[in-house]
Every structure is written in structure tokens, then in C-alpha cells.
Amino acid sequence: MGRLVRLWKAGETDTRVEYLYGPTEEHRGRIACTKTDGSISLVEPLPGISEQEDRFFYRDLAMVRLLKMQRAGDFPDEAYMAT
């Protein structure tokens, strides 16, 4: 069974970018990344599911995709990551 997470840019400054993440725009959490060092922090978890489900099905994939974007220095308005 594959997994898919979508990301939508929610805000960006010179030093930080925030993305909504989840299966749909209506059902989403929020993560942030510091552009200089790639540190990622959870701003808001995905509602309606357990912490473990959020992390396994969506957040871990979103974090991997966000790190790839940070390393490339490219933060598009929308992105996705699938397994």
C-alpha cells in the first residue's frame, strides 16, 4: 500500500517557510522549516487522527519532502511526496 502527502505553502519569509500538509486541503496540519539549517517543527498536527497515524501516514513524508526542497533552495507553492 502506497502513501501520499500533499503540501501547500502557507507562508514564507527570508528565513522560514510554512506548509500545510495532509491528504486534502480540508484535512491538513502545518509544519515549518528554517531555510538556513533545515530544522523542521510541527506547528499544528493533522486533526481527527492519532499522533502515531499522523506521523506515519503524513508528517514523516511531508518532512522528507520539505528537507529535499530546503536542500534545493526551492519552495514551490504546492508539492507532494509518495511511497
Q: Which three cell numbers stand for residue 27?
A: 484535512
Predicted pLDDT at 83:
87
Nearest to 77 by CA among 26, 2, 12: 12
Average pLDDT, the chain: 95
Q: Is 90 exceeded by the pLDDT of residue 55?
A: yes
3 state DSSP class of 46: coil
Band of pLDDT at residue 1, cut at 50, 70 and 90: low
* Percent of the chain whose pLDDT exceeds 70: 99
pLDDT tops 80 at residue 38 = yes
pTM more than 0.85? yes
pLDDT band at 33 (very low <50, low <70, confident <90, very high): very high
How many other C-beta atoms are found inside a 10 Å radius of the C-beta of residue 52? 8
